[in-house]
Structure 1
Amino acid sequence: MHNKGSISSFDIAYIGGGSLNWATKLMGDLAFDGTIAAHIRLFDLDQAAAERNARIGMRYAGRADQTERLRYTAEPSLKAALTGADFVIISILPGSFDDMAHDIAIPERYGIRQSVGDTVGPGGFIRALRAIPELAEIAAAIGTFCPKAYVCNLTNPMSVLTGALYKVFPEIRAWGSCHEVIKIRKLLAFLANRRRGEVAFGYRDVKVNVLGINHFTFVDAASAGGMDMMTEYMAFAREHHADGWRENPIDPADEHVRYFEDMNRVKFDLACRFGVAGAAGDRHLAEFVPQSWYLDENERWKFGLTPVEYRIRERTEKQAAAAALDTGAALPPPAPSEEAIVEQIKALTGGPEHVGNVNLPNIGQMQGLPPGAIVETNARFSGLGIQPVHAGRLPAALEVIVRPHAERQTALVEAVLARDSAALLPLFLSDPLVSPIGLDRAAQMFRDMVAATTHRLPEALARLGKAA
């Protein structure tokens, strides 16, 4: 961190700098904020994509008259991007969309449905096998080239990969950032406004106590404007449990909404079962429990299964949009995104304190879950660093579902980094989406999935698929 006149200037390394989603959100947020001076170094295995984003970033900076403060460059190597960085953002795609298609299609042949397939279940497991070695390489490089940097991981499976960062470089100052909890904060803001009789609150005005693991998060306390909102939420969940509720109906012609949004029925059902509010989107929550709960009848529960075919088409559209921006198309109007990275950076460098949900090793903030496991709770960002906020404990009936996931995620990181291929199949079999199909079929499915991944795997793991 250094000074240019009276302006504090930061070096931000963006790993996955050719991103079609998160990188442009950061560009817009930095330009909109107008108080941060930074050199954003974009590194991507696709150098041309990083160079394109560097040009787009400078367009954002220019429109906001921020070219004296913000500079974007595409870097030729991980070392060049990281050396001396104050902040590191990790936003990569582990493997390809073809790999993701196999992650979904192969389990489906064995009768396993997945709504996302990027966190748990067979798809999340195989994605982790692809991604852990990459995050390990990045963590080691951070330890060498910028050991004091703050590191924000945006890549899924978030719990596993944030754990990999800490396993490889225990002194790392990293957190996993996920926006899923915003969904329940928006719903609580709606309820608070209804109670007040006017639009007085946005989701940023809603305070929640978050506890759980990434994408299987819960809220057991909430307030807005000094009003306790949990009793009202629980009554609302019971009222709309049967049919679900959404402020704006899902337009069946809008593919993005149809595949990524929901009617809150899973959240409401979990609230009625366990007495705490499910915080993530229904399509994520559904994958952590047996398939018979929700995934077998996802249409009845009113959430979509996100097809990889749609993700591929959406990526093509985003590539076209990025190419248009690169050749002079109008930039989106200035407006802050829902991401918290800029607020977190400002808080860590002496700005206003920020409190929000993040993924960190458990040092006691989550009772009932193993020490060291990556858990999702609130944390306080300030000049003192990142300090987890004590969240308490999940209801006992819910804890017995969450704890095995947390233990499995930790064990998976350890097995991959140790090249302990013998440990992988038992872990794979223990997932609640996998175990019902039986040992022999699950073992064959595992071999099929490993063999189908086109992304590089450590040789000890790749050999598992060669026998398929």
Structure 2
Amino acid sequence: MTRTPVKITYIGGGSLNWATKLMADLAHDTTLAAHVRLYDIDHSAAVRNAVIGGRFGDVSKGTPATYDVAYSLEEALDGAEVVVISILPGEFEDMAQDIDIPARYGIKQAVGDTVGPGGFVRALRSIPMMLPIAEAIRDYAPSAWVCNLTNPMSVLTGAMYRAFPGIRLWGECHEVTKLRHQVAWIANQEAGELRYGHRDVRVNVLGINHFTFVDAIGLDGRDMLPAYRAFADQHGNSGWTARERDPDDEHDNYFMDRSRVKFDMFRRFGIPAAAGDRHLAEFVPQSEYLDTAEAWDFTLTPVSYRIRDRAAKRKAAAALAAGEGKPAANRSDEALVDQIKGLMGLGDFISNVNLPNRGQIEGLPLGTIVETNALFSSLGVTPLVAGRLPDSLLAIVADHAARQTALLDAVIGQRWDDLFDLFRTDPLVAPLPDDTARQMFNEMVQATSRHLPDALLQEAS
């Protein structure tokens, strides 16, 4: 069987999470012959992952992907057909400040990487990191297809389009997969057997990253919206999970929710919410869900857990690179390999992605980064018309989208004195008195000062 060659550059190639998912998915695939070039500012981490990638080759179901390491962005991008970007903006210790400082002012955040005070300051750190990457793609691989996996997704996807308007980029997020898993579970319960998976479920996605909704659900030619409505009504008060949390598993305790926020938003707005509860709750005033997170059956994930988890993953990765254990060519829930196959002409593929609004969502300005479905084919990434959100939802989405766009404008234009006024209007920050909000903003900016320009630090001093 002929395999289709593809050259993939992975920026952030020392990743302990997304890079190994890609390795497993490539090992599971039987149609691509991938060469993956790993680049990371932590060169040793990229070297480790190249060794791990070689080990996945031993269990590959098709042509084993090959892996090597680049020492510069220019070298990494040479000849790239697909570029994947998965970087950590700063350190987890910076993210801890994004969470802990607002907490001292009474602001709760479940994630803190997209909106709210944490998402805002994370964007201040990460926009200057992403702009030179986009410029390097412009200079060395302008025709490559580019997938951004880095949060805050909307702002950073927009930043790369600003730096290189001709970039062929989409932002990739797996949150919608959670709803699709629920729909497949409903159908399997009705069928009395394990007949469907989440990839069999079709949804029409509308929103912005981590605040996504669907107004149509299909499976095997059937309209599943009535069945999902009955499911949400049945479990709205008690919540639902496909399996119970393991109380001894920290990941379960901090990341599993019971979809009660999701179900409640369906009741309030009339269409199902797609993202997970921890993200959805941060887009609305704190009094709605975050103040009573335990009652809504979700957890505010502490960064201390992320740091412990990173240490455990580093240990496991080092062991795998040293030849211990055996990697498994198990397909993940991620859509990236399917998207690449679509672009390589190996079958059209539809999935939700983040792109500039070219009319796919009615009621939001053109150019706003929105999340809707797109078609991946040999013709490229074609956004699909999604329609219009209910007015009550559209107002929330439009408010956040406008703030994200204005934040990007201010950073690129170096209008540092605009930033506090934008920060002040986020729903989680808005209840604070002006002087308290200003004090918190200044403290957060100073806490991440090594990643910020001097002019901004002077404004926040």
Report the TM-score when normalising by structure 2: 0.98
Maintained 8 Å contact 2:56/2:327: no
Q: Is the 2:61–2:329 contact (alpha carbons within 8 Å) kept by the matching residues of 1?
A: no
**C-alpha distance in 1 between matches for 2:170 and 2:270:** 28
Match of 1:417 among 412, 425, 432: 412
After superposition, the Cα gap between the structure-2 partners of 1:62 and 1:113, relative to the gap in structure 1 and judged at 3 Å, is same
**Counterpart for residue 367 of structure 2:** 372
Quote the Cα distance in structure 1 between the aligned partners of 2:331 and 2:170. Answer: 21
Distance 1:112 1:63 in 2: 47
Rounded to whole Å, the distance in 2 between the matches of 1:204 and 1:164 is 30
Q: String of CA shifts for 1:24-72, please: whole Å, max 9, x gaps.
A: 1111111110321222111101000001001111111133276x65221
In structure 2, distance between residues paired with 1:62 and 1:247: 33
Question: Which aligned runs of 4 or more in structure 1 are off by greater than 6 angstroms?
Answer: none
Change (3 A) 1:48 1:408: same
- C-alpha separation in 2, matches of 1:6 and 1:459: 55
| Residue range with higher mean Cα deviation, 449-458 or 282-291 | 449-458
Residues 117-156 of structure 1: matches in 2 within 5 Å?
A: 117-156=112-151
Please state whether the residue corresponding to 1:337 is helix, strand or coil. Answer: coil
Q: For the residues of structure 2 that align with 1:37 and 1:144, how far apart are their CA atoms? A: 26
Kept in 2: contact 1:96–1:455 (CA 8 A): no
Closer, same or farther: CA 39–462 of 1 in aligned 2, 3 Å: farther
Q: Give, in angstroms, the shift of residue 6 of structure 1.
A: 5.7
Distance 2:392 2:317 in 1: 47
Question: Counterpart of 1:132 in structure 2: which amino acid?
Answer: I
Alignment partner of 1:319 is 2:281: no
Query: In structure 2, how many angstroms separate the alpha carbons of the residues matched to 1:232 and 1:243?
Result: 18
Check conservation: 1:130, 1:455, Cα contact below 8 A: no
SS in 1 for 2:366: coil
Kindly state the Cα deviation for residue 204 of structure 1 after the two structures are TM-superposed. Answer: 0.7
Q: State the number of aligned residues.
A: 461
Q: Which amino acid aligns with 1:45?
A: I
CA deviation vs aligned residue, 1:335-360 (integer Å, no higher than 9, x gap) = 11111111111110111110000000
Q: 2:225 aligns with which of 224, 230, 235?
A: 230
Contact 1:95 1:455 in 2 (8 A): no
CA contact (8 A) 1:421 1:461 kept: yes
Distance 2:449 2:33 in 1: 40
Deviations 1:425-466 (A, max 9, x none): 11101100001112111111110000001542122223334x
CA distance in 2, matches of 1:193, 1:8: 35
* Residue 323 (structure 2) aligned to one of 317, 328, 350: 328
Which deviations, in whole Å up to 9, do the C-alpha atoms of 1:374-414 show, x marking residues without a partner? 10001000011001111111101111111110111111111
Given the alignment, which residue of 278, 283, 305 partners 2:278? Answer: 283
Aligned-partner residue type, residue 393 of structure 1:
R
Deviation at 1:423, TM superposition (A): 1.2
Q: CA deviation at 1:329?
A: 1.3
| 1:257 equivalent among 234, 252, 256 | 252
User: Displacement of 1:251 after TM fit?
Assistant: 2.3
Establish whether residue 203 from structure 1 lines up as the match of residue 202 from structure 2. Answer: no
Could you tell me the TM-score, scaled by structure 1's length? 0.96
Partners of 2:285 and 2:428 within 8 A in 1? yes
| Structure 2 Cα separation of the partners of residues 455 and 182 of structure 1 | 36
Deviations 1:217-270 (A, max 9, x none): 001110111121111211221222222111212222211011111001000000
